[in-house]
């Protein structure tokens, strides 16, 4: 049985994560996941953590104040890892933190997002959130075996009512332009992959500088509006 003070400490950990830019926080019961074997009770609370464009300002502040972070080969993953340690390190409730980046095997966060009711996985392999559209990213999963999680309804399938589904031909075009759909291909063919997201009418687009960072776009290239 988890006490009120323990719930308050969990809330504090989540608030720390939110203050660092992880503003997407979605709680659900482990039994909703069928796509991945997770060693936890069926009723265990799981929390998906991710971000919208809200990550950009605190991340930029951290880059400005830390030469080590600024010179790191992967500053964003390093920033998020440090943020999660700061948020959940002091938490005295049994928990497991599973990162969505780094060394494989990695959790299928998109499928978990879909099955847990956070956002619908669309035909262009993007999760489309009712508020954020495809303009959010998933970073980690927190599993709390001693807390009970809520059963969350299925997210609305926004893509089914989208006229013409313009993301689909753009996704197919991006795939055809890529030898293999790897991260390097996304960076090299960034215009085609950005066009897939831009085809969705939902959500608030990342800022130009955030798009430039995520898609590894040179400052000599223009970002289409």
The residues spanned by each domain of the chain are 4-148, 158-214
Residue 45: per-residue pLDDT: 97
pLDDT at 181: 58
Q: Quote the pLDDT of residue 24.
A: 98
Band (pLDDT 50/70/90 cuts) for residue 219 is confident
Q: What is the pTM for the complete model shown? A: 0.93
- Residue 179 in this model has a pLDDT that exceeds 70: no
User: Mean pLDDT score of the chain, rounded to an integer?
Assistant: 93
34 vs 177 pLDDT, higher one:
34
Q: 162: closest CA among 192, 193, 134?
A: 134
Q: Would you say residue 2 has pLDDT above 80? A: no
Residue 203 tokens, joined:
């959500």
Residue 60 CB neighbour total at 10 angstroms: 14
Categorize the per-residue pLDDT at 189 as very low, low, confident or very high, splitting at 50, 70 and 90: confident
Q: With bands split at pLDDT 50, 70 and 90, how would you rate the model's confidence at 154?
A: very high
Give yes or no for residue 182 having a pLDDT over 70. no
State residue 216's pLDDT score.
84
- C-alpha span between 9 and 222 (Å, rounded): 45
> Per DSSP, which regions of 111-175 are E strands?
120-121, 127-128, 137-148
User: How many Cα atoms sit within 13 Å of 161 on the Cβ side?
Assistant: 7
> Which of 128 and 179 is assigned the larger pLDDT?
128
């Amino acid at each position: 049985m988890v006490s009120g003070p323990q719930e308050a400490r969990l809330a504090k950990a989540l608030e720390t994560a939110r203050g660092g830019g992880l503003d997407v926080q979605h709680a659900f019961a482990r039994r909703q996941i069928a796509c991945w074997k997770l060693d936890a009770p069926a009723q265990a609370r799981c929390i998906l953590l991710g971000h919208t464009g809200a990550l950009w300002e605190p991340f930029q502040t951290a880059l400005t104040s830390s030469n080590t972070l600024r010179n790191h080969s992967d500053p964003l993953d390093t920033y998020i890892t440090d943020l999660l340690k700061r948020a959940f390190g002091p938490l005295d409730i049994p928990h497991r933190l599973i990162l969505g980046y780094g060394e494989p095997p990695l959790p299928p966060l998109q499928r978990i997002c879909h099955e847990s009711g956070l956002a619908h996985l669309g035909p262009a392999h993007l999760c489309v959130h009712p508020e954020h559209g495809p303009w959010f990213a998933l970073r980690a999963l927190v599993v709390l075996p001693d807390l009970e999680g809520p059963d969350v309804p299925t997210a609305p399938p926004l893509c089914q009512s989208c006229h013409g589904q313009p993301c689909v031909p753009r996704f197919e075009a991006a795939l055809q332009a890529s030898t293999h759909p790897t991260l390097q291909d996304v960076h090299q063919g960034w215009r085609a992959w950005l066009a897939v997201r831009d085809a969705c009418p939902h959500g608030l687009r990342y800022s130009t500088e955030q798009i430039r960072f995520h898609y590894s776009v040179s400052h000599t290239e223009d970002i289409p509006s």
